[in-house]
Amino acid sequence: EPEVTQTPSHQVTQMGQEVILRCVPISNHLYFYWYRQILGQKVEFLVSFYNNEISEKSEIFDDQFSVERPDGSNFTLKIRSTKLEDSAMYFCASYTPWDSSRGYTFGSGTRLTVV
Amino acid sequence: AQTVTQSQPEMSVQEAETVTLSCTYDTSESDYYLFWYKQPPSRQMILVIRQEAYKQQNATENRFSVNFQKAAKSFSLKISDSQLGDAAMYFCAYRSSGTSYGKLTFGQGTILTVHP
């Protein structure tokens, strides 16, 4: 079964550094998302992306965050200057309305630790 | 804005027994989708079951079924014949049908423990 692949599985970074989290969505999916889950808390929406542009973003997704799909297969989340409170699990998800019975397919997540 | 509430932070069940996880939501929309996701210790989010609000029939997937009460805005998940592998965090989620790319809004989650 097709999967959403995220790399790395775990990233440790120093406060103030830039990080890029990478995702390879399912190839025929058209809608892409980033969610985050602070340890022990609920999963929160960050941003959705369609047709090479952001379709919706949450209040969390401020100027420190950016997304892009640089080469038609990868979908990246960049955090420009990480803060301690950015430590969380980040999930990528993809979706196509033509196979909506599967719902959204999530990756395994990247655990980001900011020290 | 839509909200999703899971009032049971933790639940436990004996293996082979049945357990029901509760979820309520708040929306002014008439058409939407509801989901249950399972998150095992590996942290992967796995779709368990989905329900379209316009369908009156409750969704079922093998041992998993839902009780969808649209007027009460309630969407509970029943797990029958519980297995050790069902132990996980379970999230209820809502999606508006207004756009194809709608975001999911999640509840706080319920940790399910299965005792042998």
Mean pLDDT of B89-93: 96
Residue B109 has pLDDT above 90, yes or no: yes
Residue A97 has pLDDT above 80, yes or no: no
Q: What is the pLDDT of residue A104?
A: 87
| CB contact (8 A) between residue A102 and residue B47 | yes
Residue B52 half-sphere exposure toward CB, CA atoms < 13 A: 8
In which band, very low, low, confident or very high, does the pLDDT at A2 lie, cut at 50, 70 and 90? confident
Sort out which chain B residues have CB atoms less than 8 A from A101's CB and list them.
50
Residue B2 has pLDDT above 80, yes or no: yes
Rounded to whole angstroms, how far apart are CA atoms A10 and A111? 5
B103, B106, B108, B110: which to substitute to probe chain A, counting the most A Cβ within 10 Å? B103
Report helix, strand or coil for B89. strand
Q: Give A101 to chain B, closest Cα distance, Å.
A: 8
| CB contact (8 A) between residue A45 and residue B35 | no
Phi, psi of B101 (to 5 degrees): -105, 20
Residue A29 has pLDDT above 80, yes or no: yes
Residue A67 has pLDDT above 90, yes or no: yes
| CB contact (8 A) between residue B42 and residue A108 | yes
Mean pLDDT of A87-99: 89
Which B residues, 3 through 62, put their C-beta within 8 Å of a C-beta on chain A?
35, 37, 42-47, 50
Q: What digits encode the pLDDT tens for the residues B29-49?
A: 988 999 999 999 888 889 999
- Rounded to whole angstroms, what are the CA distances from B87 to B19, B30, B50, B82? 12, 33, 19, 9
Q: What is the pLDDT of residue A17?
A: 97
Report helix, strand or coil for A96. coil
Q: What is the pLDDT of residue A44?
A: 95
Q: Is A33 on the interface with B (CB under 8 A)?
A: yes
Closest-CA residue to A83 (of A44, A43, A45, A38): A38
In which band, very low, low, confident or very high, does the pLDDT at A100 lie, cut at 50, 70 and 90? low
Q: Specify the pairing of strand B74-79 against strand B64-69.
A: antiparallel
Cβ(A92)–Cβ(A75) under 8 Å?
A: yes
Rounded to whole angstroms, how far apart are CA atoms B49 and B36? 5
